[in-house]
Amino acid sequence: MRISGLSRVTGVPVATIKYYLREGLLFPGRLTSSTQALYDEAHTARLRLIRALLGPAGLSITQVRDVLRIIDDPGPDMFDLLGRVQCATMLPSQRPDTAAAEELIGRAGWHIEPDSPEMHRLAAALDGLAAAGFVPPEGMLERYAAGLHQLASAEIAHIPTESAEAAVRYTVLGTLLIEPVLLALRRLAQQDAARRRFGAPTTG
């Protein structure tokens, strides 16, 4: 199909597709002339992936480029892969002191790489709580950590082993695109829990 057909199938404007091509996010089509190219299902899948990373995952163009580079060339080390994905989605300015984060992780009994970008993200989040004067109830952060560790263990246990490509896609997309789902489910659960505690009327 030509670029107009790719636009029609995916719902992405032609101008936007051309922008993704210029930025190197979408690989070129097969040239049929100096100004025309053909695109196939691989381009459709790639374009939908780009939109998901820019939309629900909330990444910037630069971050999407880095993530796609990892998907295209993941390397042999699956443990290193997760770290590279986290680094690719880390904002350069997020480098706060990690003492409070390290203390929390220590209480949870986790073994984390000291230079993990997520330690800086956790530290920034804890700094935000402190700056706002919000003190979580005693033991609440530890309960979060315990529940999330169970969830993470289940996720890691389900990494596909039939091919490196399947493992990479599961790891990268399962990390980036599941997080908005988890946040939405948490807030919906809070609504339900509030109704159960405070007796708010149900709807329907």
Res. 64 pLDDT band, cuts 50 70 90: confident
pTM: 0.69
Delineate the domains of the chain, giving CATH numbers in brackets: 1-54 (1.10.1660.10), 94-151 (no CATH)
CA gap 192, 203 in Å, rounded: 11
Residue 15 has pLDDT above 70, yes or no: yes
- If you average pLDDT over each of 47-51, 58-62, 78-82, 137-141, which comes out highest? 137-141
- Return all residues near 77 (Cβ < 8 A) that are at least 6 apart: none
Compute the 3-state secondary structure of the chain and give helix, strand, coil in percent, each to the nearest 5.
Answer: 65, 0, 35
The predicted structure's pLDDT at residue 62: 86
Residue-wise burial string across 148-160, b where 16 or more C-beta atoms lie within 10 A, e elsewhere: eeeeeeeeeeeee
Question: What single letter denotes the amino acid at residue 101?
Answer: A
* Alpha-helical runs (H) found in 89-163: 99-108, 117-132, 140-157
